[in-house]
Amino acid sequence: MNQPSKDRSRLWRRRSLVLLGGLVAAGFVLVILRKLLKGKSQGRQRGFTLLEMVLGVAIIALIGTGVIKAVDTNARAVRIIDEQVQATNLATAYLEGIKQLAYDDSASPYASVGDTIIKPPQYNVAVNVAYGYLVDGVLTWATTNNSGTYKLQNISISVSREGGKLVLTTCTFRTTRIR
């Protein structure tokens, strides 16, 4: 099932919930109003006028819509927070794995870090390393360490979901002692 049809089905489900909630709430209001007004009917008048019914349904529909929107917003926020917590845990696991390894200035350092980490299938983790060195007092960055003279590493870890949606990026620095 592709993404647009999923979104449409969610939208129809949400609209159905709003309508159902409005109808149920309207029924409760009508029962309560009938009990409150039971002793106050005059003459032959029984029940409610059309205007009272329309106003009652409109008020309940507005309240129901507000409640449904609040619940939906809360569910989205929880989903986003869960996603960020999962991404933070993955990035932390990778950083801890890198800490356990010795300083490595090879062509693809720390490639084995992800081998021991259990990663949910919907997440992708990328570890990028840039090498820093000083030239005339200015720090310069390179993506490879051909000469082995670069002793500062900028390690960035990016966690993304399927489809390339970036969830979290963090970085740290690592160096080796120059003797």
Split at pLDDT 50, 70, 90, the class of 44 is low
pLDDT at 1 over 50: no
- 90: exposed, middle or buried (C-beta count within 10 Å: 0-12, 13-18, 19+)? buried
DSSP letter assigned to residue 1: -
Confidence band of 2 (pLDDT split at 50, 70, 90): very low
Cα–Cα distance, 61 to 65 (Å, whole number): 6
**Taking the domains of the chain in order of start, what are their residue ranges?**
3-83, 105-175
pLDDT in tens, 52-75: 788 888 888 888 888 999 999 999
The H or E element spanning position 86 is helix 50-100
Looking at the chain, the whole-number percentage of residues with pLDDT higher than 70 is: 70
- pTM of this prediction exceeds 0.85: no
Q: Are 105 and 131 in contact (CB under 8 A)?
A: yes
Rounded Cα distance between 74 and 68, Å, is: 10
Mean pLDDT of the region 157-169: 91
